[in-house]
Copies of this chain bind each other. A is one copy, B any other.
Amino acid sequence: MPSSSSTPACLRWIGDVGGRLELLDQTLLPSRHEWIGCPDVESVVEAIKSLRVRGAPAIGIAGAYGLAVAAAEAGRRGLEPGLAREHLHARAAELDSARPTAVNLRWAVRRTVAAVERLPADAPTTALEAAVLTEARAIHAEDRELCAAIGRHGARALAEALAAAPGAGVLTHCNTGALATGGDGTALAAITTAWDDGHRFDVFADETRPLFQGARLTAWELVQRGIPVTVLVDSAAGQLMRTGRVAACIVGADRITASGDVANKIGTYSLAVLAAAHGIPFFVAAPSSTFDLSIDGGDAIPIEQRAATEVTHPLGMQAAPDGVLAYNPAFDVTPAALIRGIVTEHGLIQPVDRERIADVLRATL
């Protein structure tokens, strides 16, 4: 019983070999919905740097398509194969460095370059073009599949929680949907899949200060899909839970340790503590590539502190006086003990402990 009136996306390749990349300019949402063309690699790099495209999987896919833009450029200029390869390597380095900390970006660009390197030395430029686009499309398609699988497993977990608390809804934090991935997302895919499966429930979106990704992006995606959404300030989540309106919380993850501690958008930890205090199941949804087994516990995850102006100047407007300090960690760490289950493309990890995580990840290899 799908109710989606429109499926949002954050990037698209128009045409075939020699075609072009378009990105949804997320900095303009929710007021304006504008696709920007990326005629050259410079424009792709600029879009990544200025967060027109964001979300680790989406940035990776944009990087791979960015290389397809470079290949099309080589074709248009009539570069002979040797020069075309040089051109691709130079462009790959530029794309790589657009956001130095984005692991997915480097991974996707390198994988696309490797596809070119597998071609015979005398392959014509058109073959290079085709190989790059094929690889970029494969990366995109695989991410779409990951999202679909996470959506299916997550929807089952949510359906169970919803059945246990009739009349209550699902609360999410930040944006983990089509605007952050190549498919329908992770945590948000679980929500939209449950909805498309015919479950009807309130969807609550924390606004997610400081950058309002919940209000700006998650709410926008749900409106696009025709799913009613209720936005709240982050600090109202406790009152919402206290009044019995939350059956489950589900959020994404930036990094998950071997023991199941989760680094995610600031505010996730507060939400998990509140959920535990109210006996509400708290789920994390992320592809298995999010696990970092080199780290055992969450205290070893470095927490990035971001600019004070994100706090003092919401949406660019001054909200705090000059001369104040700001505490602005981008992420926080939620200990495994507060997490009911972690949804991956391979299924639900529950309970969340070192052994179950190792089992699931071994199955992946």
Question: Which residues of A are interface residues toward B (Cβ below 8 A)?
Answer: 29-31, 204, 206-210, 212, 215-216, 219-220, 222-223, 228-240, 242, 266-267, 269-271, 273-274, 276-277, 303, 311-312, 314-329, 332-333
From B240, B273, B316, A327 is in contact (CB under 8 Å) with: B240
B266 engages A270 (CB within 8 Å): no
Known A-B contacts A320-B30, A320-B207; the reply to A233 vs B332 at CB < 8 A is: no
Instruction: Evaluate contact between A320 and B235: CB separation under 8 angstroms.
Output: no
Chain B proximity of A188: nearest CB distance (Å): 15
**B230 contacts A324, CB within 8 Å?**
yes
Q: Are B239 and A269 in contact (CB under 8 A)?
A: yes
- Interface pairs (21), CB distance under 8 Å: A30-B319, A204-B327, A207-B209, A207-B311, A212-B319, A212-B320, A216-B320, A216-B321, A219-B320, A228-B325, A230-B325, A232-B326, A233-B266, A233-B267, A235-B266, A236-B270, A236-B332, A238-B270, A242-B332, A270-B274, A314-B317
In the complex the two chains form, is B231's CB within 8 Å of A209's CB? no
Find the B residue at minimum CB distance from A335: B242
**CB pair B233 A234 closer than 8 Å:** yes
How many protomers of this protein does the assembly include? 2
A278: nearest chain-B partner, CB-CB: B273
Please give 12 more A-B residue pairs, beta carbons under 8 A apart, in addition to A215-B312, A234-B235, A240-B327: A215-B324, A219-B320, A219-B321, A231-B324, A231-B327, A236-B327, A238-B269, A242-B332, A273-B274, A314-B314, A314-B315, A315-B317
- Given A311-B231, A312-B231, A325-B230, the answer on whether A30 and B237 have CB atoms closer than 8 Å is no
Q: Is the CB of A238 within 8 A of B273?
A: yes
Contact of A235 among B222, B231, B235, B333 (CB under 8 A): B235
- A327 vs B238: C-alpha distance in the bound complex, in angstroms? 12
In the assembly, what is the distance between CA of A31 and CA of B303, in Å? 31
From the candidates B31, B204, B318, name the one contacting A30 in the complex (CB within 8 A): B318
Chain B residues with CB under 8 Å of A207's CB are 209, 311, 319-320
